[in-house]
Amino acid sequence: MTMDQNLINSFFSVPDESGCFGKFGGRFVSETLMPLILDLEEEYNRAKDDESFWNQMDYLWKHYVGRPSPLYFAERLTDYLGGARIYFKRDELNHTGAHKINNVLGQILLAMRMGKTRIIAETGAGQHGVATATVCARFGLPCIVYMGTHDVERQAPNVFRMKLLGAEVVPVTSGRGTLKDAMNDALRDWVTNVNNTFYCIGTVAGPHPYPAMVRDFQSIIGKETKSQMMEMEGRLPDTLIAAIGGGSNAMGLFHPFLDDRSVDIIGVEAGGKGVDETMQHCASLTGGRPGVLHGNRTYLLQDLDGQILEGFSISAGLDYPGIGPEHSWLHETGRASYVSITDEEALQAFQVCCEQEGIIPALEPCHALAHVMKITGDLPKDHIICMNMCGRGDKDIFTVARALGIEMASSD
């Protein structure tokens, strides 16, 4: 049931002390992991109030990542669609090609503050794995990345990049060999190596404090967008749109705007082959119900017995049967709305973006773009839409070629 968002004083009041966003979130972990989670929470709370921590983050964001990322008026696309003014927040221009590094920097600095000497991560599209391998190389830390075998195959360029950066990539064969399975194995590693190991989670999922901590690190996206939009348009955008795998780039864009009630917020899930027609999708909010996975309570794709279903999406980064708990809460409060976009619609958006804007996008933000394309024409010309271009498409060209039936070597 949708709650009335007017009953909520501030959307910044979550999570509570136990890490809950309303009835979502929390920490459902084994006894072995509990002391680690508590240590991490303590260290994060200390770092949050430590100016030197944020100075270090600001320095690295600026000089290593290349922040602030530009806010770009997509003029040709706006003309082409003939409606609202479309802006892209260009997080695909970050070092390593996606938003993932914003959060990885924060977590690796925390790991070093905690004296951890071994970093593990899970990855789907490989962007979080590449970001983690990159920052580990930068600080001389060993890095182990768990990745499902299906993703190893479809995101081969990123597997090679991680190896070049000195990381060990561990292929995970269980399930469908996607992000859920990689996260299961990373959690197993963490339980086994609790003393020296830091688990660098790539999205706003996992047990508390991860969802809030990752959101806080990614909120740089929304903070920059707010001030850039004021500079360029003299006002806030009317609509924010972002794609959702676990939900970190979306939470990063949305969070600083949550109390600005005039701003309409839309998250876009992966509709795969169709949410109504098939079970082959990853739309956890549209097609799932609440349950517990990877240490938190949230909306999940599951069968009648509560067994987690395998998701499906052309985009490896969105191929996760859950969603960060804060999104579940925003969905239930009605503060944000969630829609889904099919593989086919995302592929169309991919081609339009290449041709109209000279930007080759990752398949993940193509889902957000496809929704922009769906609604823009019906909106007035002074309406402002801002979408997060959260990743670049180099990693996806093979998948796109296959899906479009194009021979890569062909000159057509």
Q: Rule CB under 6 A: which residues touch ligand PLP?
A: 98, 124-125, 127-128, 203, 243-250, 317-318, 362, 364, 390-391
Q: Which is closer to ligand PLP, CB of 15 or CB of 97?
A: 97
CA distances, 119 to each of 95, 159, 167, 197 (Å):
20, 17, 10, 6
Ramachandran region, residue 272 (left: φ > 0; alpha: ψ -120 to 50; beta: rest): left
Q: Which is closer to ligand PLP, CB of 271 or CB of 391?
A: 391
Residue nearest to ligand PLP (CB): 391
Q: Which is closer to ligand PLP, CB of 93 or CB of 125?
A: 125
Quote the CA–CA distance of 25 and 211 in Å, as a whole number: 8
CA atoms lying within 13 Å on the CB side of residue 110: 28
Quote the CA–CA distance of 121 and 146 in Å, as a whole number: 6
Q: Which amino acid is at 10?
A: S
Q: 44: Cβ–Cβ under 8 A, 6 or more apart, which residues?
A: 110, 209, 213
Min dist. Cβ of residue 104 to ligand PLP (A):
12
Quote the CA–CA distance of 216 and 181 in Å, as a whole number: 26
Best CA proximity match to 222, nearest among 279, 185, 181, 263: 263
Q: Tell me how long the chain is.
A: 412
Structural contact between residues 359 and 88, judged by C-beta atoms closer than 8 angstroms:
yes
Quote the CA–CA distance of 226 and 234 in Å, as a whole number: 10
Q: Which is closer to ligand PLP, CB of 322 or CB of 379?
A: 322
Q: Which is closer to ligand PLP, CB of 187 or CB of 250?
A: 250
Min dist. Cβ of residue 230 to ligand PLP (A):
25
Min dist. Cβ of residue 363 to ligand PLP (A):
8
Specify the 3-state DSSP secondary structure of 296. Answer: strand
CA atoms lying within 13 Å on the CB side of residue 115: 4
Quote the CA–CA distance of 72 and 86 in Å, as a whole number: 9
Specify the 3-state DSSP secondary structure of 67. Answer: coil
Tell me how many degrees the CA angle 84-86-90 measures, rounded to the nearest 5. 170
Q: Which is closer to ligand PLP, CB of 108 or CB of 244?
A: 244
Q: Which is closer to ligand PLP, CB of 308 or CB of 379?
A: 308
Q: Given 3-state DSSP classes, what are the helix, strand and coil percentages for the chain, each rounded to the nearest 5?
A: 45, 20, 35
Q: Which is closer to ligand PLP, CB of 69 or CB of 249?
A: 249
Q: Which is closer to ligand PLP, CB of 104 or CB of 379?
A: 104
